[in-house]
Amino acid sequence: MADYLEILAGKAFRVVPGVHYNQTLAELTQQGKNPERLIFYEVALGEGKPWEWLRDRVFPALVRYLKDKSVNPEEPDRVVVPVFYKDRCFLLTGRDFLDLYKQMEDLNDSAFHFRVLRWLQ
pLDDT digits (tens, 9 = 90+) for 80-119: 999 999 999 999 999 999 999 999 999 999 999 999 999 9
CA 65 distance to own-chain centroid: 12
Note the pLDDT of residue 29. Answer: 86
Mean pLDDT of 10-20: 96
**Rounded-to-integer distance, Cα 12 and Cα 34, Å:** 23
- What share of the chain in percent tops pLDDT 70? 93
| Average confidence score pLDDT of the chain | 92
Note the pLDDT of residue 119. Answer: 97
Note the pLDDT of residue 32. Answer: 53
- Asked if residues 91 and 12 have their Cβ atoms less than 8 Å apart, the reply is yes
Note the pLDDT of residue 33. Answer: 57
Residues 6+ positions from 1 with CB-CB distance below 8 Å: 51, 104
Mean pLDDT of 8-27: 95
Q: What is the DSSP string of 22-37?
A: HHHHHHHHHH--SSS-
